[in-house]
Amino acid sequence: MNIASEMNSEEVLRVKLEVLRREHRDLDDAIRALANNAAPVDQFALRRLKKQKLTLKDRIAAIEDQLTPDIIA
């Protein structure tokens, strides 16, 4: 029996959320390092990293929406 089968769906989403947040921070560090490099910046690589970061941000937001209970006011 694996760990994922022992966790409920909310716990699995929380783990995925933490992994995505870590990846987002790592991409942010990579973008910062690339931009602060003394050598000429590869604009294509920089744009690709920023696009990946935005994609992760969208995935993070989607999981956060799933974890947030709907409140009818």
Q: Where are the domains of the chain?
A: 8-66
**Spatial CA neighbour of 28 closest among 51, 59, 50:** 50
Residue 41: what pLDDT?
80
9-49 pLDDT, tens digit each: 899 999 999 999 999 999 999 999 988 887 788 889 899 99
Residue 5: what pLDDT?
62
Residue 61: what pLDDT?
96
**Spatial CA neighbour of 27 closest among 61, 51, 1:** 51
